[in-house]
């Protein structure tokens, strides 16, 4: 391929011109980047220019990092490690030679423009409560919008009666604990030196036991409703074991499961069982016959043919409610109610003859008398519920009768068994209805065919010739003229 450049006509001239162009381009790049071509002796120089920087050294010393001016906004960067700086171009830079107006930078990028004296005075201000605790208090107070006197009037003037339980719960989080109250009262002499939040909490601490008294007020507002819910739930759990143990339908169904299982397991270590753990009920849907139906479907068929009326298992109406209630939750709610009654009694003793809280004392005394009666009913019903549940566990041969988790497992397995048998029973009925319709359709079709055959026989009989009568009998005679 011939490359022609201006001023060169032959191939040799072309190649010389290309070399010259390449050299000129390299020199241009070096000049633009500030590089210097190496001389044959390896020295570094620029023709008719300033002296070039020295090659980077592999060893770098520590650079001064003293704080200059006041605290400023940072520039977030990642520093090149010292062991990598020596072989990079960073070693050739001298940032100390860059002229900076440090006063202007301090003014523009300073973190705080307040006078230094004011900052120093704020830093030495004493703190009583932890900073995080005060931050949470300020958030709560912003929502409550109540001053210290209004908070104390919750018990002094019994304003809790017009408040929502959520507001009282928020006040509980604001009021000082027993330890905080003691700390605040011990530092009351520096009330004029602390910040607003500490001063606010010191005013609340002037009314001893404010947190406990507001807890009493919350109990008076919510105790009755919470007690009714707990009593209903415990009554439900006391009724469920009775229904289960008295269920004739469940007894028949489990009896059939035991018979089927012993037949399937005959001749093995699992056979000859007097009873089985209720976990086996969930496995009825996993054992399939040659047609694809499950052992549960076969159980339904046995119950419908041999024990009609057993399904559905609808003689345990309360069992389904056990899915909505937790025994652990009931235990926590009962303990909470008992603790609230105990707290009210303690606060009544602590108030004593304080005239400021005389009205609150009278109301809490009346509430305590009623709450004690309800507490006795709750304790009695809890004992009854536990006794019934343990009786149910013994009914099914369970070893750990008092374990709440196992009790809930038994109830769950019985709920699922009742639901599964109901679904299988529905499938069985649908299958029977389809078979009946098919039989009826076939019977109807057979009747039509029989009737059609009978009609055909009748037509043939009518169309057959009558003995002694010929065709000319029905020939019309011609009219006479």
pLDDT tens, position by position, 289-316? 999 999 999 999 999 999 999 999 999 9
Q: What is the DSSP letter of 190?
A: G
Task: Please give the mean pLDDT across all residues of the chain.
Answer: 82
CA distance 286 to 227: 44
Q: How confident is the model at residue 57 (pLDDT cuts 50, 70, 90)?
A: low
Q: How confident is the model at residue 456 (pLDDT cuts 50, 70, 90)?
A: low
Tokens of 354: 């304080």
Average pLDDT score over residue span 146-171 = 95
CA distance 29 to 21: 12
Q: How confident is the model at residue 28 (pLDDT cuts 50, 70, 90)?
A: low
pLDDT at residue 17 is higher than 80: no
pLDDT attached to residue 107: 76
Read off φ and ψ for residue 72, nearest 5 degrees: -125, 165
Please write the tens of the pLDDT for every residue from 413-442. Answer: 999 999 999 999 999 999 999 999 988 888
pLDDT attached to residue 394: 94
Q: Assess whether the previous peptide bond of 312 is cis (omega < 30° from 0).
A: yes
pLDDT at residue 117 is higher than 90: no
H or E element: which one contains 343? Answer: helix 327-351
Query: Tokens 């008092």, residue?
Result: 402
pLDDT at residue 188 is higher than 60: yes
Tokens of 377: 């009913």
Q: Where are the domains of the chain?
A: 131-208
Q: How confident is the model at residue 121 (pLDDT cuts 50, 70, 90)?
A: very low
pLDDT attached to residue 74: 76
pLDDT attached to residue 45: 42
CA distance 395 to 406: 14
* CATH number of this structure's domain 131-208: 1.20.58.630
Of 386, 382, 369, 385, the C-alpha closest to 223 is 369
Please answer whether residues 13 and 2 qualify as being in contact, where contact means their C-beta atoms are separated by less than 8 angstroms: no
pLDDT at residue 201 is higher than 90: yes
CA distance 149 to 156: 10
pLDDT at residue 412 is higher than 80: yes
Q: How confident is the model at residue 462 (pLDDT cuts 50, 70, 90)?
A: low
Average pLDDT score over residue span 22-37 = 53
Please write the tens of the pLDDT for every residue from 233-249. Answer: 999 999 999 999 999 99
SS3 191: coil
CA distance 102 to 120: 23
Q: How confident is the model at residue 84 (pLDDT cuts 50, 70, 90)?
A: low
CB burial string 184-212: b at 16+ within 10 A, e below: beebeeeeeebeebbbbbbbbbebebbbb
pLDDT at residue 42 is higher than 80: no
pLDDT attached to residue 383: 96
Query: Tokens 């390299």, residue?
Result: 26
Within 127-190, where are the H helices? 131-144, 148-156, 165-174, 178-186
Query: Tokens 């119950």, residue?
Result: 303
Q: How confident is the model at residue 125 (pLDDT cuts 50, 70, 90)?
A: confident
Who has greater pLDDT, 77 or 375?
Answer: 375
DSSP sequence for 57-76? PS--PPPP----SS-B----
Radius of gyration, CA atoms only, the chain: 49
Average pLDDT score over residue span 175-202 = 94
C-alpha dist (Å) from residue 33 to 26, 37, 45, 317, 414: 11, 11, 14, 90, 85
SS3 5: strand
First to last CA, the chain: 130
pLDDT attached to residue 449: 63
**What is the percent of the chain where pLDDT is above 70?**
71
Read off φ and ψ for residue 315, nearest 5 degrees: -100, 20
Who has greater pLDDT, 76 or 224?
Answer: 224
């Amino acid at each position: 391929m011939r490359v022609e450049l201006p001023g060169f006509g032959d191939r040799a001239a072309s190649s010389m011109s290309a070399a010259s162009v390449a050299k000129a381009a390299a020199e241009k790049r070096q000049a633009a980047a500030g590089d210097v071509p190496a001389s044959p002796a390896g020295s570094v120089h620029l023709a008719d220019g300033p002296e070039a920087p020295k090659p980077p050294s592999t060893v770098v010393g520590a650079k001064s990092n003293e704080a200059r001016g006041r605290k400023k906004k940072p520039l977030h960067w990642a520093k090149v490690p010292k062991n990598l700086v020596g072989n990079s171009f960073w070693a050739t830079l001298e940032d100390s030679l860059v002229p900076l107006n440090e006063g202007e930078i301090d003014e523009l990028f300073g973190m705080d423009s307040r006078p230094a004296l004011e900052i120093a005075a704020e830093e030495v201000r004493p703190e009583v409560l932890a900073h995080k605790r005060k931050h949470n208090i300020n958030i709560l107070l912003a929502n409550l919008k109540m001053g210290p006197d209004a908070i104390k009037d919750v018990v002094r003037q019994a304003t809790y009666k017009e408040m929502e339980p959520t507001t009282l719960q928020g006040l509980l989080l604001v009021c000082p604990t027993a330890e905080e109250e003691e700390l605040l009262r011990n530092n009351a002499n520096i009330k004029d030196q602390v910040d607003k939040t500490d001063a606010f909490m010191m005013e609340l601490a002037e009314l001893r036991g404010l947190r406990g008294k507001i807890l009493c007020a919350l109990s008076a507002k919510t105790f009755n409703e919470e007690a009714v819910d707990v009593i209903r739930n415990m009554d439900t759990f006391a009724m469920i074991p009775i229904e289960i143990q008295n269920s004739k339908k469940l007894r028949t169904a489990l009896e059939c499961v035991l018979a089927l299982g012993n037949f399937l397991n005959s001749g093995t270590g699992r056979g000859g069982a007097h009873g089985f753990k209720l976990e086996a009920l969930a496995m009825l849907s996993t054992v399939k016959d040659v047609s694809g139906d499950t052992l549960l479907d076969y159980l339904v068929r046995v119950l419908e043919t041999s024990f009609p009326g057993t399904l559905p298992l609808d003689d345990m109406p309360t069992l389904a409610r056990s899915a909505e209630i937790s025994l652990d939750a009931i235990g926590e709610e009962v303990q909470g109610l008992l603790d609230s009654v105990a707290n009210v009694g303690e606060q009544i003793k602590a108030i004593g003859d304080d005239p400021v809280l005389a009205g609150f004392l009278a109301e809490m005394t009346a509430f305590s008398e009623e709450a004690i009666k309800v507490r006795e009913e709750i304790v009695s019903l809890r004992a009854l519920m536990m006794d019934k549940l343990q009786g149910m566990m013994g009914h099914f041969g369970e070893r750990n009768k008092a374990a709440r988790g196992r009790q809930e497992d038994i109830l769950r397995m019985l709920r699922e068994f009742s639901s599964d048998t109901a679904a299988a029973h529905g499938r069985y009925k649908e299958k029977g209805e389809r078979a009946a319709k098919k039989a009826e359709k076939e019977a109807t079709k057979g009747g039509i065919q029989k009737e059609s055959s009978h009609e055909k026989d009748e037509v043939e009989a009518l169309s057959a010739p009558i003995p002694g009568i010929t065709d000319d009998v029905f020939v019309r005679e011609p009219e006479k003229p």
